[in-house]
Structure 1
């Protein structure tokens, strides 16, 4: 049996709340961040289209175990709908497929918004990562196929008209749940208003639990990368760039938090259950976080006052 090769990179863990620039794909962004931090492992929590900018939370190391909790978090987008044209991709990338001379009034738009608030059914774009018979919808669309994508239930908590641009386009802000396609929203509103529409700008401003204050730009990261002169044999310090990392546990603020002792943490890290003590400790919970000295130890279930680890984190 061949020996496993040693992992390349630093064993750094935490979240980097990246302000993704327009033109960069989500996978490319993860690769860039992984290289800048020289991290062993990295992954993102929710794809952001290349034509979109804004918040792309990227998990490093142990934080990749918490990706599902961030993916499920509410998201906020600021976007512009250009009226009068529908496009194959529902954004600027695709060719125009339908046109109209009509432009909606502010009153017409405001009257429509309640239809797109709450739990609704939405059909994803033809150019999306949805799998149809094992293939990505965008691959089929690029081959010229029109695929039948079933509608899915999504939840929109808030949809507001922010302003009208000098060109007559509409700027909106939306707070929505997992699986919402803002491009589909522009398409469907345009059809309802009988004027057609597509996304011309899209920026994600929040992904719960992170906020705009957590955002870090590529320029900031590149300026903080440790550098050594050619030929120098020095130990590089990553303190400056590591300062941008958000603690892994921040992704789990939605779960009950249980403080445990160092001895209990050692047992849990070996996969053993422990009794939860303390007046405020929950007796039952499907999922909860165990922390020791403020550091994440494990995610697990609490049953009859006993914490049973499901996912353990390195100390």
Structure 2
């Protein structure tokens, strides 16, 4: 177990949760922090309350690696309800438009390429996007309809995997940071001329973390405050898997931990690349590689 402080334990690493429906991402973070008596915790990418799947919780020094998981690609499997538009673009909202039109499977497949590659996407009215300093969902709840600007999104894949019935299809999407599945469903319905919204959503994986490997909230409750959850903790280094690892000496590690450049062993990185330095496999710092040295931007106090 990590060192215990008055306001929580100094414990670092990742706890991967397979989130159930009906709970907010922040509530999961708070429950995990309480259950593990952790000093610091955060998550790498919000899931809507009714969404399920992988929610990676960073503890302690691992919170410094959250941006790298947030920026990583993610995979979603979601069910789309054809024939209805809602004000939230999901099943939680009110139906605001309906259509008897139902596209064929071939028509759906033909439309999907419009939503792959570099696209521009307008987030839902009910989203956490800030408009003049306020969250869009707060303005929407107050009855205000605001203009939300389109944002760039990279969509690696978008496929039709199942036609459940005339009204429901299942899609799978792999995308980059900032993607709104609800917007994909809404805009697909518009292109097909039938309206659509998301009925259910499951995040299959996020960066190196997979939902099927995550633990349940029931287990978090069961093992809370016992210290047994520590066995499920993953090293903070997993949050850095998309960056090159550069080994360093104890002397260089000491310099890096004080915020100074340190010599590193590098073979496949170029000048200006972002990378992380390790000592005996443990993360020391993240920074920019320049002429044999790593210039740190984040340092890890886990020694």
Return the TM-score normalized by structure 2: 0.94
Q: How does 1:1-315 map to 2 (within 5 A)?
A: 7-166=6-165, 168-227=167-226, 238=227, 240-277=228-265, 280=267, 282=269, 284-314=271-301, 315=303
- Give the secondary-structure state (helix, strand or coil) at the position aligned to 2:114: helix
Q: Deviations over 1:126-173 (max 9, x none)?
A: 001111111111111111111111111111100010101146300000
Structure 2: state its 5+ residue gaps. none
Q: Deviations over 1:48-80 (max 9, x none)?
A: 000101111111000111111110000100000
- In 2, the alpha carbon distance for the partners of 1:281 and 1:106 equals 45
Structure 1 position 19, deviation (Å):
1.0
Structure number with the higher strand fraction is 2
Return the TM-score normalized by structure 1: 0.91
Structure 1 position 36, deviation (Å):
0.8
Structure 1 position 226, deviation (Å):
4.7
Q: Residues 282, 183 of structure 1: CA spacing in aligned structure 2 closer, same or farther, 3 A cutoff?
A: closer
- Determine if contact 1:85/1:98 at 8 Å carries over to the other structure: yes
May I ask how many residue pairs the two structures share in their alignment? 298
Structure 1 position 255, deviation (Å):
1.2
- In 2, the alpha carbon distance for the partners of 1:140 and 1:226 equals 39
Pick the structure with greater CA Rg. 1
What residue in structure 2 maps to residue 235 of structure 1?
A: none
- In 1, the alpha carbon distance for the partners of 2:265 and 2:95 equals 63
- In 2, the alpha carbon distance for the partners of 1:142 and 1:213 equals 34
Q: Residues 162, 209 of structure 1: CA spacing in aligned structure 2 closer, same or farther, 3 A cutoff?
A: same
Q: Deviations over 1:278-300 (max 9, x none)?
A: 6x374624311111111111112
- Determine if contact 1:258/1:281 at 8 Å carries over to the other structure: no
Give the number of the structure with larger relative contact order, counting CA–CA contacts within 8 Å between residues 6 or more apart.
Answer: 2
- Give the secondary-structure state (helix, strand or coil) at the position aligned to 2:239: helix
- Give the secondary-structure state (helix, strand or coil) at the position aligned to 1:172: strand
CA RMSD, 1 decimal: 1.5
What residue in structure 2 maps to residue 233 of structure 1?
A: none
Structure 1: state its 5+ residue gaps. 1-5, 228-237
- Determine if contact 1:12/1:61 at 8 Å carries over to the other structure: yes
Structure 1 position 263, deviation (Å):
2.5
Structure 1 position 276, deviation (Å):
2.5
- Determine if contact 1:190/1:196 at 8 Å carries over to the other structure: yes
- Give the secondary-structure state (helix, strand or coil) at the position aligned to 1:82: strand
Q: Residues 300, 258 of structure 1: CA spacing in aligned structure 2 closer, same or farther, 3 A cutoff?
A: same
- In 1, the alpha carbon distance for the partners of 2:167 and 2:66 equals 39
- In 2, the alpha carbon distance for the partners of 1:283 and 1:114 equals 35
- In 2, the alpha carbon distance for the partners of 1:109 and 1:166 equals 14
